[in-house]
């Protein structure tokens, strides 16, 4: 066992790049990559599509947050479904483990190898195949970068991909689907399970499973594509995606508001949901500490006087700018008169809209200025949405913690809880975990709202899944990948 028994994730990537969790794993019973394998891959893909030099592989072996480093023995860069199929067929025959990788922007250590798994990247599979301006159906290769895809469907057909997230400039649509990415527009357009129309997937043994179609309604047998949405690469490699795109809204207005209490943010949300559900595209909340951090660490100026216990960013989007603005103004008047909001500002020109969004979107960057950030991404019932922030403040009192912030996609019940310290501190971590996961499970929340399980959260999965559910997941894994070559060590904890 040359590769050691401990995943090499901790303490070696610099002070700010230390994993929040140590994960102990044994290497599985997989073959080691041989020269013959490399020659086979070079024959199948061409030699430029097979990387084996450590320097060339570095960016593929380390994750985006730099919390884990694998030792992938080779990086394979197929250009077509047929090439993916040929590669997997060979790997299956030899029992070589494979780590499928999209844009490598995942946040839970799911997209890099743990030991020497081969890295199968979709980076060279990036063609948009069809855009139907009439129905909005778009089909493309899995390696299309989300932002590039969105730009293309916008320019060619005034459409928009119903998915938007911070990593859009790097993430692949195939990776988005494989991790069931959520993001900023879910409140309006719903999850990928509703908008993905079809998938082409290569199974562990190289079989191509083609469920690509471009129809909204299709009740012909078990809906196989659904299985692969959010499967994090453990059941198959997604090679093509068909997705229902939406008409691109003509205009957008944003309001940035101060609220006197959490209760008042709830009242404002309820009013917005009922007053203009058809326009509402984002409903984001930030607590005072989050905004203080943005102000102090990034020197951004808040557009409101004084300090407020909570802030809201509300976005509405639609086809008629006047109607949109009028709706939003009427709504804000009403909220002010009912004292749900204390102060606010509104924007409709795109530069000012971006400026307001920047206050929300730069929280992550501002937090990093404190030093190390412990990041949690949970869903909780709205009534208890901010409870955990206060509880964690209590938990970390007297430790090295600098601040505890709560913010997130309130419209989707999705909270980002962040704790900062000058550096990595095991004792502080012990105060946060497993407490935060156990508390979340106790309110029937989700311990991972949109980031997935990957490597980092595997040992907490049992907190929110019954033994019967874990057994069902394992039987699906057995049915689709009996040799367990696809993304081993990820998502599913071993059966006890």
**Contact partners, residue 174, CB within 8 Å, separation at least 6:** 102, 122, 125, 141, 142, 143, 144, 238, 239, 241
- Contact between 279 and a second copy (CB under 8 A)? yes
Indicate whether 271 belongs to the interface with a second copy (CB under 8 A).
no
The smaller minimum CB distance to a second copy, of residues 93 and 190, is found at 190
Interaction of residue 461 with a second copy, rule CB under 8 A: yes
Here the tokens at position 18 are 């230390």
Contact (CB, 8 A) for 312 and 385: no
Nearer to a second copy, 4 or 277 (CB): 277
How far is 479 from 224, CA to CA, in rounded Å?
Answer: 13
Question: Do 252 and 353 form a contact (C-beta atoms < 8 A)?
Answer: yes
Which residue among 195, 252, 268, 342 contacts a second copy (CB under 8 A)? 195
- Can you tell me the distance from the alpha carbon of 359 to that of 345, in angstroms, rounded to the nearest whole number? 13
| Distance from C-alpha of 446 to C-alpha of 58, rounded to nearest angstrom | 33
- Residue window 81-120: x/- pattern of binding to a second copy, with contact defined by CB under 8 A: ----------------------------------------
Q: What sign does the dihedral 440-445-448-452 (CA atoms) show?
A: positive
Q: How far is the CB of 451 from a second copy (least distance, A)?
A: 7
Q: What is the CA radius of gyration of the chain?
A: 23
**Residue 397 sits in the site that holds a second copy (CB under 8 A):** no
496 contributes a contact to a second copy by CB under 8 A: no
Size of the site for a second copy (CB under 8 A): 96
> What are the percentages of helix, strand and coil residues in the chain, rounded to 5?
35, 20, 45
Q: Which positions from 283 to 322 touch a second copy by CB under 8 A, shown as an x/- string?
A: -----------------------------------xxx--
Nearer to a second copy among residue 47 and residue 475 (C-beta) = 475
Pick from 211, 239, 265, 418 the residue near a second copy by CB under 8 A. Answer: 211
Q: From residue 245, how far is each of 317, 318, 359, 462 by CA, in Å? A: 16, 15, 28, 35
Instruction: Tell me how far, at minimum, the Cβ of 431 lies from a second copy, in Å.
Output: 23
Among 100, 230, 344, 488, the residue binding a second copy under the rule CB under 8 A is 230
Decide: is 263 part of the binding site for a second copy (CB under 8 A): no
Is 215 one of the binding residues for a second copy (CB under 8 A)?
yes
Question: Which of 403, 409, 416, 456 is in the footprint of a second copy by CB under 8 A?
Answer: 409
> Toward a second copy, which CB reaches closer, 14 or 221?
221
DSSP 180: T
Please tell me the number of Cα atoms within 13 Å of 449 on its side-chain side. 24
Residue 252 in contact with a second copy, rule: CB under 8 A: no
Neighbours of 210 (CB within 10 A): 13
Least distance between a second copy and beta carbon 206 (Å) = 11
Distance CA 397, CA 400 (A): 8
CB of 250 to a second copy, least distance (A): 9
DSSP per position, 245-303: -EEPPSEEEEEEEEESSHHHHHHHHHHHHHH-TTTEEEEEEEEHHHHHHHHHHH-PPPS
Residue span binding a second copy (CB under 8 A) among the ranges 63-71, 273-281, 291-299, 348-356: 273-281
Please check whether residue 215 is in contact with residue 225, taking contact to mean a CB–CB distance below 8 angstroms.
no
* Least distance to a second copy, CB of residue 219, Å: 5
Of 57, 86, 87, 50, nearest to 71 by C-alpha is 57
Q: Is 351 in the site for a second copy (CB under 8 A)?
A: no
319 in helix, strand or coil? coil
Pick the binder of a second copy from 207, 297, 362, 399 (CB under 8 A): 207
Does position 466 interact with a second copy (CB under 8 A)? The reply is yes
DSSP 201: E
Contacts of a second copy in 42-81 (CB under 8 A): none
Instruction: Note whether 209 binds a second copy by CB under 8 A.
Output: yes
Residue span 414-443 as binding mask against a second copy, x where in contact by CB under 8 A, dash where not: x-----------------------------
């Amino acid at each position: 066992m040359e590769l050691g028994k401990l995943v090499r994730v901790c303490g070696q990537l610099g002070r700010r790049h230390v994993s929040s969790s140590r994960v102990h794993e044994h290497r599985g019973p997989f073959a080691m990559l041989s020269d013959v394998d490399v020659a086979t891959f070079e024959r199948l893909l061409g030699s430029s599509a097979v990387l084996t030099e450590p320097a060339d592989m570095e960016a593929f072996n380390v994750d985006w947050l730099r919390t884990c480093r694998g030792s992938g023995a080779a990086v394979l860069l197929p250009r077509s479904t047929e090439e993916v199929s040929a590669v997997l067929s060979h790997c299956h025959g030899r029992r070589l483990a494979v780590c499928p990788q999209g844009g490598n922007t995942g946040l839970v250590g799911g997209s890099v190898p743990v030991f020497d798994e081969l890295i199968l990247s979709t980076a060279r599979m990036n063609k948009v195949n069809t855009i139907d301006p009439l129905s909005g159906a778009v089909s493309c290769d899995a390696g299309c970068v989300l932002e590039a895809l969105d730009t293309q469907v916008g320019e060619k057909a005034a459409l928009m991909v119903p998915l938007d997230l911070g990593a859009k400039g790097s993430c692949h649509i195939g990776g988005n689907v494989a991790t069931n990415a959520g993001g900023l527009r879910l409140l309006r357009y719903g999850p990928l399970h509703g908008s993905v129309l079809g998938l082409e997937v290569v199974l562990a043994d190289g079989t191509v499973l083609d469920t690509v179609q471009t129809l909204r309604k299709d009740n012909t047998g078990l809906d196989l594509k659904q299985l692969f949405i959010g499967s994090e690469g453990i059941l198959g490699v997604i090679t093509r995606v068909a997705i229902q795109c939406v008409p691109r809204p003509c205009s957008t207005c944003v309001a940035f508001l101060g609220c006197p209490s959490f209760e008042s943010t709830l009242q404002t949300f309820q009013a917005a949901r009922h007053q203009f559900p058809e326009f509402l595209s984002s409903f984001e909340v930030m607590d005072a500490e989050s905004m203080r951090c943005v102000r102090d660490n990034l020197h951004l100026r808040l557009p409101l006087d004084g300090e407020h216990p909570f802030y809201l960013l509300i976005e509405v989007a639609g086809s008629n700018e006047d109607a949109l603005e009028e709706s939003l103004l009427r709504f804000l008047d009403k909220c002010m008169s009912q004292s749900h909001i204390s102060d606010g500002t509104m924007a409709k020109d795109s530069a000012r809209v971006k400026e307001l969004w920047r206050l929300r979107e730069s929280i992550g960057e501002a937090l990093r200025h404190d030093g190390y950030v412990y990041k949690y991404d949970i869903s909780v019932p709205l009534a208890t949405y901010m409870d955990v922030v206060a509880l964690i403040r209590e938990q970390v009192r007297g430790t090295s913690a600098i601040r505890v912030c709560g913010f997130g996609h309130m419209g989707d019940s999705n909270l980002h809880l962040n704790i900062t310290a000058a550096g990595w501190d095991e004792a502080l971590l012990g105060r946060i975990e497993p407490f935060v996961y156990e508390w979340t499970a106790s309110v029937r929340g989700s311990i991972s709202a949109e980031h997935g399980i990957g490597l980092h959260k595997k040992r907490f999965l049992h907190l929110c899944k019954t033994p019967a559910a874990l057994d069902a997941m394992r039987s699906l894994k057995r049915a689709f990948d009996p040799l367990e070559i696809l993304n081993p060590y990820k998502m599913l904890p071993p059966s006890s």
